[in-house]
Structure 1
Amino acid sequence: MKRIACLFSGLFFMLVVSLSQSNETILQIGEHEFTKGEFWHVYNKNKHLPNFTETPLEFAERFIDYKLKVVEAIHQGLDTTASFKREFNQYAEDLKASFLIDSAALENKSRQAFLHMQGIVNASHILIRVEEMATPSDTVKAWNKINDLRTRVHAGESFGDLATRYSEDPSAVNNQGKLGYFSAFRMVYPFEKAAFATPVGEVSNIIRTNFGYHIIKVHEKIPNPGRIRVAHIMKMFPRNASDEVKAGFKTEIDSIYQVLRGGESFAQLAAKHSDDQNSANNGGEMRPFTLQEMVPEFAFASFALENDGDISEPVLTDFGWHIIKRLEITSIGDYASNRNNIMNMMRRDGRNRTGEISFVQQKRKESNFYLNQDLVDLMKSKASGETDNSSFFSSLSNNDGLLYSYFDKKMSLKEFVLSLKNHQTFNIQTGFNSVEKILDELIHETIIAVERRDMAKNNPEFRYLVNEYHDGLLIFEISNNEVWQNVGSDTLALQNHYRNNIDEFSTPYQLDGVICEVKTRRLVRRVNREINRQGSDFLVQILKDNSRSPDCYWCETGLFEFVSDASNPLNSVKLPDGNRFSKINGDLYWAGVILEPQPIPYREILGHVMSSYQRYKEKQWVIGLREKHVPEFNFNLLKN
């Protein structure tokens, strides 16, 4: 045990030392200090970017310049404006929310939702209503009732008949409790979870939702075919139409179907004959739908079509006869393509709170949280013996004992009883469950509030991210004021910059001629002989003529710039000598004329001039900031 204790204390000491070292000041600009930890955080983020090659020493110069701009922005009061505070505070609060969750728990819930999205369930249910804060006697009464119905189903009675007679879902009288087809996010989460977990043909365990107690019978499970876009031609008949009336419409739809089989345009026939006025003028095209969003007969007939452009035989629904043409089908896709949408839907139906609840549960297990179980047991015993709120309150309202604490936040039993008095939904007749529910809510709120308050102090990752956003906002604003603003309208300054840096705005050295890659030196000797015989004025043509030789890989004619470009034959090549035919790189040979750089007209290159002038202004500005604020950088900390 001593060895383990020594090991633990050693590890703890190393952790403390590591944290203290990361908080060492690496850069000081006046009263503003920036830590070694922040420097390495920013450097390591940049290190993973493409084409990043800077050493820590080189990066330090950019870090200094970056922080100089931040300090100057603060010096000018840009961090005190209402617009800055509003945007920064909103970002900080939104960012805190992402740190107040158990990411693993939330991810598991998201993946479970995607698993449910891949299937569709056809089910029925029986509901016995009970309020969330019902009294114990009402809760037991409802549970006994639903349990009795489940027992009768298992004994062989018809689920549908029992739903019609006993379910407290108003629609069950007409549909025998049938819910039809549904996938993820169509039902409240506990119901969805139970439906997907129950095997086909079986009845679920009793589940509770905010509506009450349910049992679910699963009739069918099928893969989710995705979303489909179709067009249709419809012959509509009145509800409750007789078989004779339906037969008359069947004759009409059959004749249209025969015309379609003869090759007539579906869109034209829909416009002429379809009774669905919402789609007829659009060639019969309907909005895309999923299997569960459409009446089953129409949906299954649509998804049964195998290829885009396929046309169904006439299909009967409660609304009429249809001929359906498949236009396009879209599969669900993989998890990555659905994740953002799943997270949004989880946010809307409340199941994303799983991440926050799990986070709080973890914090409740840590030593910084204390719950007085003796006082909890005292409340439980009082709750079982009282029948009205006032008696329960008076029995506990003078107890100053500490009920729970989290860091510096504490609540006594007396304070908790006061909060119960102010809680509109509290009713002691519901028993200890309502007390426990409100206590859990208060503990949850306390832990979240403390974690929000202390996040910048306790969480380096949050601190770095929020500082990045803070600095980025300030740098954007001050750079706009000092560098970017009015550059385009300062014509005189731009023209002077153009004249003073004319080399930057000129063409590079160029070769006007031909470049060939040769296989053998025999071709080079042959070209030289031809130049000697015909003269150098004909060398381009001579080289082109010889490009057909088996000794030549390829030849290219035109203007070639002496610039670094991987696609350029003259990439990183030094200017050749004055000869009009020579070797330039490996097996590359050129012939032609070297053109001197020429200034590019001002108006043709104005965008480049503006960008260059902005860089010039920024460089001069930073030089001034270094003189004004005199940064002190501890380069020794880069060695550790």
Structure 2
Amino acid sequence: MFKPLIRISVLSCLVSLNAYAKPVVTINGISLTQQDYEQYVEIRSQKTKTNVTPDKRTIIEEMIDRELLRQDALNNKLDQDPKFIEQLKQLRDNLLMSFALQTYLANNKITDATVRNFYNQRITQIKMPKQYKARHILVETETEAKAIIAEIEKGKSFGKLAKAKSSDLGSAKQNGNLGWVTKQKLVPSFGNAMEKLAKGEYTKTPVKSRFGWHIIKVEGIKFQQAPAFNLVKEQIRNGLQSQQMQQYSFQLRAKAKIIK
């Protein structure tokens, strides 16, 4: 009772194979099959890095042009040209080296657990910088800065003074607000003065930088958050793979007989 089903299955496979081998175009007696077509589409999409494929007719026209070039090169015996032979050797060697690396990495896969473990170990060792929610007022002279500090001490609003008198127009529009910043991203004199302030404090003496004279106020302090695992896991994996490739190279050197 199963024989008819087997015959149908075999026939279906033969029909599929015949369709796969059926020429989509023949150029000077050379047939390009459906298999050739599909392989070309795949390679083309990898090179163009897009999932958008032109219509079949456009692809076939490209294949015709490529095949005509290939045939013309063979007719002119360019495959025997020493330059071609040398470049072909280089391409072969590069492809072999690439396959050797791919095979090594495939046989020594870095698991998600390894990546996670690396993240957990390293993240606890990293000292994350503090972030400061800061405002500032920038003026040209120390005298101006001292006068503004005197006004703040009398109870005037830091934000209103920044909006009215700061020469840093970008932050002045925001009442001197710089948002959350780290010391490392600021000029040294500004960063050093800022990190000495507690929450709610401002500099009682003007701070000089190449931009002018600053009065700085800190309104909040927090530790910068470590990057989430999902945001850095592929970077970690790539870094571990780089280490693997170095290790692979060291192993090959250790086994090799090298004479310099």
TM-score (norm 2): 0.49
Structure showing the higher helix proportion among its residues:
2
Instruction: Find the structure with the greater CA-based Rg.
Output: 1
TM-score (norm 1): 0.24
